[in-house]
Structure 1
Amino acid sequence: MVRDNSRRSEKKPSAAPASAADERHSVLRTVLFGLQHVLVMYAGVVIVPIVVGSALGLSDADIAKLVSIDLVLAGVGTLLQSLGLWKFGIRMPLVVGAASNGIIPMVLVGENHGMPTVYGSLLVGGIAWILMAPLFGMLLKLFPAVVTGTVIALIGLTLIPVGLRMIVGDDPGDPGYGRLSHIALAAFTIALIVVFRRLLKGVAGQLSILVVGAIVGWSAGIGDLSHIGEGPVIGLMGPMHFGALQFHPPSILLFLVIILVITVEASGQGVAVGQVVGKRVGPPEIARLLRVDGLMTAVSGVFSGFVYTTFGQNIGLIALTGVKSRFPVAVGGVILLALGVFHPVGEVFASFPKPVIGAAAVVTFGALVVTGVQLLSTVDFDRPSNLMIVMISLSAGLVTAYIPDFYLRMPHVVGMFLESGVATGTALAVLLNLVFHAGRRGAPDGSGPPDGGGRRGHAGEEARAD
């Protein structure tokens, strides 16, 4: 299929300046390809609101609303990214969804300061993202491979306990804590992930894992379906659902740190898709891409969404099918909007047994660790400086994951920052990299800028073109 498309584009040299991203297909093919994009990204989109809502102890009704608004905002972001509007959107086949990296600040801030502070931080962080999009090229120099790999691995390692708590529970004193049936269901879900990834490559295995796991859980009496259909069938969650926004500088700083990390990854996705569709992606295009991520994150502050980013898994679908047009992706955005407005969709996902979601979350967060390790594999560890950066940053970043009250006696302002292991580890990695590598540009040891933002796999080698 890829060869056929490439031949077709070779026969039309006059269309080359517009790139394959502007190719048009029949309505039926466009809709079918758009549905494929939704299926590939859907599990990644809905897992973030479910994990955040479950980790913060929200009701099933609130989690359902979070899923719905998440789908709506992902749909709007995907439409903007693929079609473009003014200075927003890269106008290429890229989808937008809730970033798993954003789970950490939402859970930490939500537990300590409540949801209004989470959404106040999202609003400020998103606005800063939009305003600073053209300047991120300079800031990215602070995040070479040795730093980005460390931070991404740290995020994954910090998030894994969140998924584990969804399996066994939060309170060891609870009679239901560590229930064997829940652990067995989680193990069954992970086994499904292995089998489905082995036998059902591509679209078929993405959503089926969660659905089959949920059906088995419901059959065993784990999970509650009783609330489905109780509320309105169609509608949207109103603004500031969790109360008036509150603004807390240390919390805002934590979100800004995560946004910087996400920016590195999103930039890599932009460069990678440019390589796939045969269109050069430079700083102006990356700035338009980042403005969409910032806009959707800022809007989330008002409408109770999440940190949004450009997804990379759909780039693999483009390479697999050979369909490089942005218009099927835009149709996918419309489908996401429709699913978000249709409330029973969110209610069904909110009722999924927590051990199923926890198991999927553990594997997803493990993938983040692997991504970080892949990046670090490009770093020359024969240089003691790189070894010191990773050792110290990872160790300091994992302190609160092992001992949550480690900084209990610290002054409040200092403790607020240190309680986030990701923020602590990121700050140390950036600082140590400056100490050891300041003035070295493009060092072969991996201390130079990462390849296109550091996301390997689909975005790894392509990003070198930037």
Structure 2
Amino acid sequence: MHHSRNSLQGRKKLRNHPNPVGAAAGFARGRGSSPPEARPAPATPRDPPGPAVPPAPPAQRGEGIMASHPSPPSPVDERPRFGPLVLLGLQHVLVMYAGVVVVPIVVGAGLGLPQAQIADLVSVDLVLAGIGTLLQALGVWKFGIRMPLVVGAASNGIVPMVLIGSTQGLSTVYGSLLVVGVLWVLIAPLFSKLLKLFPEVVTGTVITLIGLTLIPVGLKLIAGSNPSAHNYGAPANLALAGFTLALIAVFYRVFRGLLGQLAMLIALTVGAIVGWLTGLGSLAGVANGPVFGLLKPLHYGALHFDIPSILLFLVIVFVLMVEASGQGLAVGQVVGKKVGPRDIANLLRVDGLLTALSGVFNGFAYTTFGQNIGLVALTKVRSRYPVAVGGVILIVFGVVQPVGRVIAAIPQPVIGAAAVATFAALTVSGIQLLSRVDFNQTGNLVIVMLSLGVGLIPAGAPDFYKQFPFAAQVFLKSGVATGTVLAILLNLLFFARRKRQPEAPIARPEPAAKLSQS
């Protein structure tokens, strides 16, 4: 009965204590009750047991009983059900597909290759892009950032590939890619140490700049890339793009759960069907060509190594490393997960590995894309596994060529409308980050003002640097690279004397709709 009176008094203390949770933890640690090993046996029926008081783990002392609950998994590591997983992966592929296939088509046309060889380049590009996307999403050892990022052929590599290929042959191009790819992997850890140069104001500027420079890519898909063409800006194309954008807005407004997350894919599908029915696209060429595309190592002969060509590609590599680092920081802000130097090094190693493989399998210089980051922000699905499925889909498209030809047959105004929406969403993510910057400090204002202004020059005036030497043009024509470097330099100019740079806080992601409940 003595124990019964003590139990009753303890329960009264807990009920009357201003912080019963903390009091419970305190009693469990021995303050206000006997030690756990000295407690009597469980109460008999004459002495009914009081409410259980769970002990607090020693490692979480002072955090109360909630400390015993495991923390929820990061949204990046959530695994949707199989059905939604495939559809979400296809959605990522559709958003970035045009950016993947345009490089081999342009390079092949620039070198005057026959249609069959261009088709082989497209197949190789899709397979390597799929492998890179899988590595970035899932990660293997020190390769892959393990984030929802996709990989594709870098448009920055078009000019040197055409220049070197037309004068010295593709064997020299691929010999150079093999060398710079290996160097890329080796210097990735050193380059990632520069991450401390990306405080909040620089990161927000880079994300905004990436989005703004990508929007014209979508606009060119809608209106056309040649202003002198007779069908440039055709009203029918603009109407189809406007219809697709309207569908995207309506579907995001009306749909919830899984359908809301797939609004982009549904709008693309409906827009493509309307385009085919109205004659703005055609499926006639889907049956033409081989069924399977296979990688052909050293298809253009033994590799040739030329030092000037390698140096030219190294300039491209520096630009791509700057851009890819910005993509890694951008996706970290969107998914709400901190990205450190080790993550950036893992990201860069994948790009270098794929570029080295391109030297053997006749591919291109590869880089981590930012095309799908806006889609992640729109859908609120931050899991990396749909992107991994997207990597598998890219490989299938590269091997089973008719499937890829169906996707390629989607009218460009439809793809362009989806691209404009996703790139604008990425821009908004950058603006949200910049909204937390203290613009009462003149330095922050100047950093954003000049970096955006200079970084947007290539998008607004493509021939602005026409009179510069070719090597300088390679760097200056990348608005993201010039804007990023300028933002870093200006930040050092204004804030170098500070002992600690203002770091970019990680935005907390809004909870995504549970796919399993849809």
Match of 2:460 among 375, 398, 402: 402
Rate the CA distance shift 1:177–1:431 in 2: closer, same or farther, 3 A.
same
Map of 1:256 onto structure 2: 318
Aligned to 2:201: 146
* Matching of residue 39 in structure 1 with residue 94 in structure 2: no
Structure whose alpha-carbon radius of gyration is higher = 2
Structure 1: distance between partners of 2:252 and 2:201: 30
SS in structure 1 at match of 2:150: strand
CA separation of 1:197 and 1:295: change in aligned 2, threshold 3 A: farther
State the 1:109 CA deviation: 6.1
After the TM superposition, which residues 34-73 of structure 1 pair with which residues of structure 2 at under 5 Å, given as runs?
A: 34-50=85-101, 52=103, 68-73=123-128
**What is the CA–CA distance in structure 2 between the aligned matches of 1:340 and 1:379, rounded to whole Å?**
44
| Aligned residues: CA RMSD | 4.6
Q: For residues 218-257 of structure 1, what are the structure 2 equivalents within 5 Å?
A: 218-236=276-294, 238=296, 247=309, 249=311, 252-257=314-319
Deviates more, 1:408-417 or 1:217-226: 408-417
Counterpart residue number, 2:221: 166
Aligned in 2, Cα 1:122/1:389: closer, same or farther, shift over 3 Å?
farther
Correspondence 1:349 to 2:415: no
| CA-to-aligned-CA distance 1:388-429 (integer Å, 9 cap, x gap) | 112122222223333333333344544443343333322222
What is the rounded CA distance, in whole Å, between the counterparts of 1:220 and 1:293 in structure 2?
A: 40
- Distance in 2, matches of 1:20 and 1:404, equals 41
Residues 289 and 63 from structure 1, CA distance in 2 versus in 1: closer, same or farther, beyond 3 angstroms? same
Q: 1:463: which partner in 2? A: none
Q: Deviation of residue 49 (structure 1)?
A: 2.0
Which position in structure 2 is the counterpart of 1:435?
Answer: 493
Q: Quote the Cα distance in structure 2 between the aligned partners of 1:295 and 1:398.
A: 30
- Structure-2 separation of matches of 1:338 and 1:327: 17
Q: Kindly state the Cα deviation for residue 350 of structure 1 after the two structures are TM-superposed.
A: 1.6
- 1:129 to 1:56, Cα distance in 2 relative to 1, 3 A: closer
Distance in 2, Cα, partners of 1:36 & 1:148: 31
Sort the Cα spacing of 1:60 and 1:391 in 2 relative to 1 into closer, same or farther, 3 A: farther
How has the CA–CA distance of structure 1 residues 198 and 165 changed in structure 2, closer, same or farther, with 3 Å as cutoff? same
Corresponding residue of 2:484: 426
Partner of 1:98: 151
Q: Which residue of 2 aligns with 1:204?
A: 262
**Range that drifts further, 117-126 or 373-382:** 117-126
Aligned positions, number: 427
Asked whether the equivalents of residues 264 and 418 of structure 2 are also in contact (C-alpha less than 8 Å), the reply is no
**Percent of matched pairs sharing the same residue:** 47
Q: TM-score, normalised by structure 1?
A: 0.72
**Cα separation, partners in 2 of 1:351 and 1:396, compared to 1, 3 Å:** same
Cα 1:152–1:249, aligned 2, differ >3 Å: closer, same or farther? farther
The residue correspondences of 1:289-328 to structure 2 (distance < 5 A) are 289-300=347-358, 302-304=361-363, 306-308=366-368
Distance 1:426 1:164 in 2: 23
- Do the aligned residues in 1 keep the contact of 2:241 with 2:413 (CA within 8 Å)? yes
TM-score computed with the length of structure 2 as normaliser: 0.66
Once the two structures are TM-superposed, the CA of residue 206 in structure 1 deviates from its matched residue by 3.1
Question: 2: CA distance between counterparts of 1:393 and 1:379?
Answer: 15
Letter in 2 for 1:175: H
Give how far 1:383 is off: 0.8
Greater displacement, 364-373 / 344-353: 364-373
Q: Equivalent residue of 2:242, what SS?
A: helix
Counterpart Cα distance in 2 of 1:314 and 1:359: 13
CA distance in 1 between counterparts of 2:162 and 2:86 reads: 36
Q: Secondary structure of 1:307's partner?
A: strand
Provide the C-alpha distance between the structure 1 equivalents of 2:160 and 2:214, rounded to a whole number of angstroms.
Answer: 14
Letter in 2 for 1:307: T
Does the 8 Å contact 1:80/1:88 carry over to 2?
Answer: yes
- How much does 1:181 deviate? 0.9
**Post-superposition CA distance 1:4-58 (Å, at most 9, x none):** xxxxxxxxx99x89x899x999xxx974464255234232342422555688796
Deviates more, 1:164-173 or 1:66-75: 66-75
Q: Structure 1 pair 405/119, CA: closer, same or farther in 2 (3 Å)?
A: farther
- By relative contact order (CA 8 Å, sep 6+), the higher-ranking structure is 1
